[in-house]
Amino acid sequence: MVALKKRITKFYVSLGHQYMPFANVATTDLSLSRLLRLSLFQVSVGMTLVLLVGTLNRVMIVELGVPATVVGVMVALPLLFAPFRALVGFKSDTHRCELGWRRVPFIYRGTLLQFGGFAIMPFAILVLAGQGEAQSAPAWLGYVSAAAAFLLAGAGAHIVQTAGLALATDLAEPEAHPQLVGLMYSMMLLSMIASALIFGYALSDFSPARLIQVIQSAAVICLVLNAIAVWKQEARSHLHRPSATAADPSFQEAWAHFCQAPHTVRRLTIICLGTMAFSMSEVLLEPYGGEILNWSVANTTKLTALLALGGLLGLSFASHALRPGYDPLRLALFGALIGVPALALVILAAPLQFDGAFLIGNFMLGFGAALFGHATLTATMNEAPKEKHGLAVGAWGAVQATAAGLAMALGSMIRDLFNVIRDANETVSTALQGAGGYMTVYSIEIILLLATVALTLPVIRRMAGASGPDPIAPNRLTGSHRSFRSGTKASVNHGAP
């Protein structure tokens, strides 16, 4: 009887750990509350992304009448900073200061840039739109100030995210990396959903004064969230003080060493192609629903909800699936493979006029993209040389953000180019005239996903072949242990240069 009571107690106590989202990421040294607090930097980054790419994009075009081309350039400006994420990560790895911190100074500077960008942004946008007395001001003032505001806020978000993710990787045990990635990704996704709804509601009764209130509130919220996120998180270490004797490599040396790890360049290529495949149609799904399937605006918002739901379920699934010993690249492959039928369903929805196919396709796209993003970031974290997490996470972020931005721009350009050709050429089939541009983009995405699969399979086979009978045997090439297939061994992977 006592044994039975013990078993029942053990069962329901374990339920919380098993089913409470991301509860298994916490350890005795790193509590869940501390991790949730750290993940607040992702909330500020998600809020920044929504404001820059979504809300202000719409406000500038619809409410303020700024030409779409100018808005497109402004929104794309933060993308210019994305490739520098690898450098930011490297600098934070090798940063020396008397206080013994590596990540906190970068999060502090990134936050200042985020705050500064948002602080001047509403005035810059209003001057750009020629509101008030700004009509008599020189046009360059609006362009320069708006460009500076977007660049500052975007660069700040990139720096905060890179240093923040590197700090999270430093703090968590290697075997908890999959759950950590899931938690960080989920917080950003939830923040983006909540921010989109709140900003939409706050700006529904639009006025210039309301715009100033909303954006400057976002500036203060970013500052507060980032400060709470990093408070007492990073330990001060003698190793990171100027008096430390170890010499730091240059960026070129560190990058060369990073690329020497097995399949690094191929993995970065996989991240680039896969991200492009999942991002190219991101801004085209809603117009496709409205223009081709004749959905109302209210119905097309369901797509965003479905994408987000698929994303959250994908992150949760990936966190569970990536147990120690499971190769993250297998999951990335699975994510890419889900994307192919998802896009096929989206394409078929137009000729069949079958809304269900479009909805299921959207859900699967969100699910597949979440699996792919989660798995590639986890693989990068596990492969990162000890004490060099910043460079690895920065390289992942640089490739991912640049690929996503380029893909979104390319997607719109390809659709518009197709429409121009279609208008010039009367012989194109009339049946799919409207959908042709969209279908071209979706088809390119399928090709990109197949290319991702083709690149991923050989890496998985080689890693599986190299694993041999002893999964922790030292790798002959690097003299390090193979962490790729085992999260538990990641901590001894690739000695620092």
Binding site for another protein (CB under 8 A): 97-100, 105, 108, 112, 115-116, 119-120, 123-124, 126-127, 131-134, 137, 141, 145, 148, 235-238
Smallest distance, another protein to C-beta of residue 208, A: 8
Backbone phi and psi for residue 43, each to the nearest 5 degrees, phi listed first? -65, -45
Smallest distance, another protein to C-beta of residue 109, A: 8
Smallest distance, another protein to C-beta of residue 145, A: 6
CB-wise, 112 or 409, nearer to another protein? 112
CB-wise, 53 or 124, nearer to another protein? 124
Instruction: Please name the residue that has the structure tokens 């492969």.
Output: 383
The CA distances from residue 330 to 260, 322, 336, in Å, are 22, 10, 10
b vs e for 21-45, b when ≥16 Cβ sit within 10 Å of the residue's Cβ? ebebbbeeebeeeebebbbbbbbbb
Smallest distance, another protein to C-beta of residue 232, A: 8
- Assign 3-state DSSP to the chain and report helix, strand, coil percentages, each to 5: 75, 0, 25
Q: For residues 402 and 82, is the Cβ–Cβ distance under 8 A? A: yes
Joined together, the tokens standing for residue 453 give: 């699969």
Helical ranges in 203-260 per DSSP H? 208-230, 251-260
Joined together, the tokens standing for residue 302 give: 């369901």
CB-wise, 128 or 308, nearer to another protein? 128
CB-wise, 110 or 487, nearer to another protein? 110
Q: For residues 258 and 93, is the Cβ–Cβ distance under 8 A? A: no
Q: For residues 283 and 408, is the Cβ–Cβ distance under 8 A? A: yes
Cβ atoms within 10 Å, residue 3: 7
CB-wise, 116 or 341, nearer to another protein? 116
Smallest distance, another protein to C-beta of residue 388, A: 18
CB-wise, 168 or 270, nearer to another protein? 168
Smallest distance, another protein to C-beta of residue 246, A: 16
What is the rounded distance in angstroms from the CA atom of residue 170 to the CA atom of residue 174?
9
Smallest distance, another protein to C-beta of residue 91, A: 16
Smallest distance, another protein to C-beta of residue 149, A: 9
What is the rounded distance in angstroms from the CA atom of residue 258 to the CA atom of residue 478?
11
CB-wise, 108 or 418, nearer to another protein? 108
Write the DSSP symbol of residue 474: B
Q: For residues 285 and 303, is the Cβ–Cβ distance under 8 A? A: yes
Cα 167 from chain centre: 16
Instruction: Please name the residue that has the structure tokens 């493979």.
Output: 337
CB-wise, 126 or 342, nearer to another protein? 126
